[in-house]
Structure 1
Amino acid sequence: MSQSVSSVAPAAFDSEAGAKLSALRRTKFLATAALVLCVVVFAMAKSFESTYPWLGFVAAFAEAATIGGLADWYAVVALFKRPLGLPIPHTAIIPANQSRIADNLGRFIEVNFLAPEPVREKLADVDFAALVADWLADAERAAGLSRFVVRLVPQTLAAIEQSGLRGFVTSRMLEQIDKVPLAPLAAELLSALTDDRRHQKLFDEFTRVIGRFLNDEEALATMREKIREELPSLFNLFRADAYLLKKIVASAGSLLDEVRADPDHPMRAEFDRFAHSFIERLRTSKQYAKRAEKLKRDFLARPEVKALAGDMWQSLSVFIEQDARAENSIVREHLANMFVEVGRHLAGDPQIRADMNQGFVVALSSFVESQKSGVSTFIADQVKRWDLAQLTRLIEMNIGRDLQYIRFNGMIIGGLAGLVLYTAELLFLAG
């Protein structure tokens, strides 16, 4: 009970509650004084009625007003406690029905305030996305959020490492790569390369490589040796090998220069046909597909690939941990800027905000729907824990003044009813 009293007391005894309590006491005093006045008027009117017959009307009014006032006093008091402490049935209604009031109050709030439609309508009035956008767009808040995220990243990486999730993700990634047909994918990539003739740049680079090869002394010496081996000995006496090599190199160099200078050279067209033919075979040939799949499986099966994935993960973890401890963290700075940009873009895109708000409404309304029975039970339990005296005092303090006016009304209505009945009695006797 002490816990319940302490939970209610701060709300019951603030300055506003003190004003309500003073007004209630003043109204109670006036209602009681009016009832006493009715009794006094009734007694005096009865005493002088034989001398002044018209006082019979006053006595009838005062008598009925007294009865009405007493009846309403009883009704008001019976709500909160037993009148005069007597064990009269159906009195102290609120204390006697605390549990039922608590359950009904919780059920009333659940049915009327936490129903799906009112909740959705109320949530729809809130622009959650705008609140998020304003919050993120603030540079200081974004920086604070980035610091919080960066502090959690090393712990997250450590948890992933200890849980074996890294190995699982690596295995799953390799499995998914293994399921991707390599030949059609390579054909699409090469098609994108040939669409705007970028493959011709590769061809130009290939001609430059050959040109550098033809100018390499060691390469020329090797070629001259091969030519000498193929020529008859007589030709070698006249150094025909050097002459042939010089002609070959000069002709090849001249041809390569022509190809690089002429974008419509026949060799370029031939390279185009070769490239398109190769792409088409990659796309349609089963033999090429089998070879590509074998190459892919052999590559993925190599231990170096799995070791590479582990090294990449380790390098990433070390970088993030070191950066998180740095005073001028790069990750933290970029995260803060990203959060600010997200907030600004979100503020300027009404469609995304509308979609986000709809998502918030669905999620929060579903949460309220799943938890509303618990809210009802919580409210009921809290009301049941309230101290009876404090609960009664709290209710009386908030509605008791209006109830006291019922006593005034009871005296007035009762007095008028008594006056009417007295008048009707006199008319009936006179008749």
Structure 2
Amino acid sequence: MAPEQTADTEAAQREREKQAALTRAKRMATLLLLTSITVMVIAKALEHRHPAFGFIAAFAEAATIGGLADWYAVVALFRHPMGLPIPHTAIIQKNQSRIADSLGKFVETNFLAPGPVGAKLREVDFASMIAAWLADPAKSASLSRFVVNLLPQAVAGMDQSRMKEFLAERLTDQLSALKLGPLGAKLLGAITEDRRHQRLLDEVIDAVERILADQATIDGIRDKIRQELPTLFNLFKADAYLLGRILKSTGSFLDEVRTDPDHALRLEFDRFVENFIVSLRESPDYEARAEKLKQDILGRQEVRDLAQTLWRNLVDYVERDASSPDSRIEAQVTLILSHVGEKLATDPRLKAEMNDGFVVTLSTLVEQQKSGASRFIADQVKAWNMQQLIRLIELNVGRDLQYIRLNGTLIGGLAGLVLHTIEVLIRAS
């Protein structure tokens, strides 16, 4: 048997048991009332024969009155007694709308108030539930596949809507607002920490040495020297001598710069870089040049075409990867979800922050929607079939109401007996 059928069968069985208990309680209360009426009639008829019958009659009469009064009260709650339209009877039927509004307001005020809702939500460890769920590889993989399956649709939706143009406009606005001068100064400042910019000077020195060691360069320099010297000096090969001295002096100078971290050239290079950073950060002239360069770049058609190409490539990649059985995106999402689950399970601070976030979010949601919940409850109660509602109430509380009839009969009888006893004692005295 299906679970739904089993649940329906169990519910029907419980309803039959409640109906049987209600029927027994009604019969018992009615039987007691009829008994008290019978005893009252008999005792009244025999009261003149012996004083004891007076006590019995008083008990039975008061019990009858109490039983009838409680029977009337219980019946009037649900319907008109004996079908007579007596005022202030069939209370539930006549006040269905008011009861519905009161019930909705009661739930809103007492159950959906910020205090009770927040306290109940704090009992739930949302973070642990999520961590345990993500720790299951099958569930993480399933969620990853669901996310990846949605990606092509989301990207296609962005491609067909103005979202792509909106994002491009926002990106352009952000780039336009970006100050290149201060940004460049900040980047260079990071590079110059611990004099790391001196590596650039070392690279320049190495490049100069390679150029001076090139035979074509040497020949070119020698030709320049020969052109500048008088012809007489060239006859004695003065150009070769001067070239050798120049190359040797330059090589020695470059070696000194390379080996001496405090060489004058290095210190001058430090000052140059520092001054350039200050100019980038503070000079209006540099700022204007950087702004013009930026606008020229952003305005070029090649940049717009590049953005379109990048977007198209991204769309194609997402579509291909999502349809692949070995999706890289899915693998990465699964890895991220597993990492999140592990982090949640082992980080008490993160768990506390997530649980607090859930409490605040859900409490705010309940606070915003509780009036709607109140109206929903009221509308549902107003739409109920009153006969079904009355039957439902009787099945659940009717048995207790019948015991009220029983108690009313017995207590009424005892009260009548006490009053009759007091009357007899007063007469005797």
Query: Smaller-chain TM-score range?
Result: 0.7 to 0.9
- C-alpha separation between the residues in 2 aligned to 1:238 and 1:168? 76
- C-alpha separation between the residues in 1 aligned to 2:168 and 2:267? 44
Corresponding residue of 2:26: 28
CA 235–102 in structure 1, closer or farther in 2 if over 3 Å, else same: same
Q: 1:215 aligns with which of 213, 216, 221?
A: 213
Matches within 5 A, 1:236-255: 236=234, 241=239, 244-255=242-253
Bigger mean CA deviation after superposition, 119-128 or 239-248: 239-248
- C-alpha separation between the residues in 2 aligned to 1:226 and 1:302? 43
CA 238–335 in structure 1, closer or farther in 2 if over 3 Å, else same: farther
Q: 2:268 aligns with which of 267, 270, 276?
A: 270
Q: Is the 8 A contact 1:61 1:416 kept in 2?
A: yes
Q: 2:82 aligns with which of 76, 81, 84?
A: 84
Matches within 5 A, 1:401-416: 401-416=399-414
Q: Is the 8 A contact 1:12 1:394 kept in 2?
A: no
* TM-score for the superposition, normalised by structure 1: 0.88
SS at match of 1:327: coil
Corresponding residue of 2:306: 308
- C-alpha separation between the residues in 2 aligned to 1:13 and 1:99? 28
Cα deviation for residue 404 of structure 1 reads 0.8
CA 58–329 in structure 1, closer or farther in 2 if over 3 Å, else same: same
Q: 2:294 aligns with which of 293, 296, 301?
A: 296
- C-alpha separation between the residues in 1 aligned to 2:141 and 2:189? 45
- C-alpha separation between the residues in 2 aligned to 1:426 and 1:195? 114
Q: 2:196 aligns with which of 185, 188, 198?
A: 198
- C-alpha separation between the residues in 1 aligned to 2:175 and 2:71? 86
Bigger mean CA deviation after superposition, 330-339 or 129-138: 129-138
Deviations 1:342-392 (A, max 9, x none): 233234333343333333333222222221121111111212222222111
* AA of the residue aligned to 2:254: L
Bigger mean CA deviation after superposition, 258-267 or 235-244: 235-244
CA 44–272 in structure 1, closer or farther in 2 if over 3 Å, else same: same
Corresponding residue of 2:333: 335
* AA of the residue aligned to 1:116: P
- C-alpha separation between the residues in 2 aligned to 1:120 and 1:407? 42
Corresponding residue of 2:375: 377
- C-alpha separation between the residues in 1 aligned to 2:166 and 2:229? 64
Corresponding residue of 1:186: 184
- C-alpha separation between the residues in 2 aligned to 1:87 and 1:167? 73
- C-alpha separation between the residues in 2 aligned to 1:360 and 1:195? 44
SS at match of 1:100: helix
- C-alpha separation between the residues in 2 aligned to 1:391 and 1:74? 20
SS at match of 2:116: helix
Structural RMSD (CA) = 2.8
Corresponding residue of 2:396: 398
SS at match of 1:142: helix
Bigger mean CA deviation after superposition, 235-244 or 411-420: 235-244
Deviations 1:181-239 (A, max 9, x none): 32222222212211211111111112222222233344444444444443444555565
Q: Is the 8 A contact 1:21 1:397 kept in 2?
A: yes
Cα deviation for residue 256 of structure 1 reads 3.2
Bigger mean CA deviation after superposition, 276-285 or 363-372: 276-285
Gaps of 5+ in 1: 1-8
Matches within 5 A, 1:1-400: 13-236=11-234, 241=239, 244-400=242-398
- C-alpha separation between the residues in 1 aligned to 2:386 and 2:170? 63
Corresponding residue of 1:3: none
- C-alpha separation between the residues in 2 aligned to 1:422 and 1:102? 46
- C-alpha separation between the residues in 1 aligned to 2:402 and 2:276? 100
CA 281–380 in structure 1, closer or farther in 2 if over 3 Å, else same: closer
Cα deviation for residue 13 of structure 1 reads 4.7
Deviations 1:394-429 (A, max 9, x none): 101111111111111111122122223333444455
SS at match of 1:178: helix
Deviations 1:145-181 (A, max 9, x none): 2222222222222222222333333333233323333
- C-alpha separation between the residues in 1 aligned to 2:299 and 2:219? 42
- C-alpha separation between the residues in 2 aligned to 1:240 and 1:292? 49
CA 392–310 in structure 1, closer or farther in 2 if over 3 Å, else same: same
CA 231–104 in structure 1, closer or farther in 2 if over 3 Å, else same: same
Gaps of 5+ in 2: 1-6
Deviations 1:15-55 (A, max 9, x none): 33332222211111111221222223233333444444422
Deviations 1:118-167 (A, max 9, x none): 22232233333333333334433332222222222222222222223333
* TM-score for the superposition, normalised by structure 2: 0.88
Fraction of identical pairs, as percent: 56
